[in-house]
Amino acid sequence: MFSRIIRVPLLKQFGSRSLFIQTLTTPNENALRFVPNGATILPSQKTPTVEINNIKEAIHKSELAMKLLSLNDKAISSILFGYDFITVVKYSEDNEVKNKADSVKPQSWSVLKPQIFALLTEHLTMGGSVLSPEYFQHLQKIDNEEIVMNENNENDDEFDKDLTPEEEVVLLIKELLTTRIQPAIQEDGGDIKFIKFDHEQGIVYLKLIGACKSCSSSEITLKSGIEDMLKYYIDEVKSVQQVLDGDANDIDNVNEDVIIEEKKSFIKHTVDELPPSL
């Protein structure tokens, strides 16, 4: 899986150490995962990954993403920033590029990878931030608020009593995604986002991002891995469905999710047997 390392002198945040950039392949042939040693990109390991799909999004979030998305006539489809990795997804011949005056010409990794290496190396060694200071502080603030909220909930004996059965199921789903599923998916350069839970039909709606979004095996991962694991632990879950970009289901969850986030807390769920593996 390990394919290449670049070593260059480091400046500013890397001090006197050398910068090693690992390039890791992913199950998606159109995605590569870059891991710069000694660099952390997000405020904490609990910070949700950040996906940037276009230059408009990148302007306020990441100068580095804006540079990457501009490479080689915009041959890059999306960027995913994890705690200590960067996933770059390129367009393939199967990608349909809509709402663009000129279609994107797909490029091979033999062309794009050296360009990405050069860009990452220059940006990081010159002390450039991965995320804009304002957006980084925004993520940091969310992390701190969540820590305080969880601490308050742990000390509140009435908290669990205030949860409806539906809210408790949603919290269990989120805990399972965070502790058992996301770490494995992030190792492959992707991530998964909870969108909503249909209580009446028992359907969990999830969104795959990063390397997982356009991966040919994503449906297998959803059905044979994630769905089996959620059903194993949570009786109320009957099936899992993927939400695609622009899907109405991505918006339907807003009101429900706000209520859940106000009561956000991890519910400890102990089991004696191992779940199905991803």
Token pair 């509140």 is found at: 156
In a shared domain, residues 180 and 74: no
State which of 115, 133, 151 marks the end of a domain.
Answer: 133
The reply to whether 139 falls in a domain is: no
In a shared domain, residues 205 and 111: no
Q: So what's the pLDDT on residue 211?
A: 92
Q: So what's the pLDDT on residue 106?
A: 85
In terms of Cβ atoms closer than 10 Å to its own Cβ (0-12, 13-18, 19+), residue 192 is buried
Q: So what's the pLDDT on residue 25?
A: 95
Q: So what's the pLDDT on residue 187?
A: 93
pLDDT tens digits along 53-91: 999 999 999 999 999 999 988 899 999 999 999 999 999
In a shared domain, residues 197 and 243: yes
- Phi, psi angle pair for 48, to nearest 5°: -60, 145
Q: So what's the pLDDT on residue 230?
A: 95
Q: So what's the pLDDT on residue 13?
A: 45
Report which of 263, 64, 50, 34 is spatially closest to residue 164, judged by C-alpha positions: 263
Q: So what's the pLDDT on residue 260?
A: 40
Quote the domain boundaries for residue 118.
Answer: 7-133
Segments of the chain scoring below 50 in pLDDT: 1-16, 96-101, 248-249, 251, 253-272
In our burial notation (b when 16+ CB lie closer than 10 A, e otherwise), range 61-83 reads: bbebbbbbbebeebbbbbbbbbe
Q: Could you give the 3-state DSSP secondary structure of residue 274?
A: coil
The reply to whether 213 falls in a domain is: yes
pLDDT tens digits along 91-112: 987 654 443 445 677 899 999 9
Report which of 81, 63, 75 is spatially closest to residue 112, judged by C-alpha positions: 75
CATH number of the structural domain spanning residue 255: 3.30.300.130
Q: So what's the pLDDT on residue 161?
A: 60
CATH number of the structural domain spanning residue 104: 3.30.1370.70
Q: So what's the pLDDT on residue 151?
A: 65
Q: So what's the pLDDT on residue 264?
A: 42
The reply to whether 148 falls in a domain is: no
End-to-end CA distance of the chain: 18
Number of domains in the chain: 2
Q: Could you give the 3-state DSSP secondary structure of residue 248?
A: coil
In a shared domain, residues 15 and 124: yes
Q: So what's the pLDDT on residue 30?
A: 95
In a shared domain, residues 209 and 112: no
The reply to whether 190 falls in a domain is: yes
Amino acid letter, residue 213: K
The reply to whether 98 falls in a domain is: yes
In a shared domain, residues 63 and 105: yes
Distance CA 203, CA 187 (A): 26
Q: So what's the pLDDT on residue 59?
A: 94
In a shared domain, residues 122 and 187: no
In a shared domain, residues 104 and 202: no
The reply to whether 101 falls in a domain is: yes
Distance CA 44, CA 136 (A): 11
The reply to whether 90 falls in a domain is: yes
The reply to whether 277 falls in a domain is: no
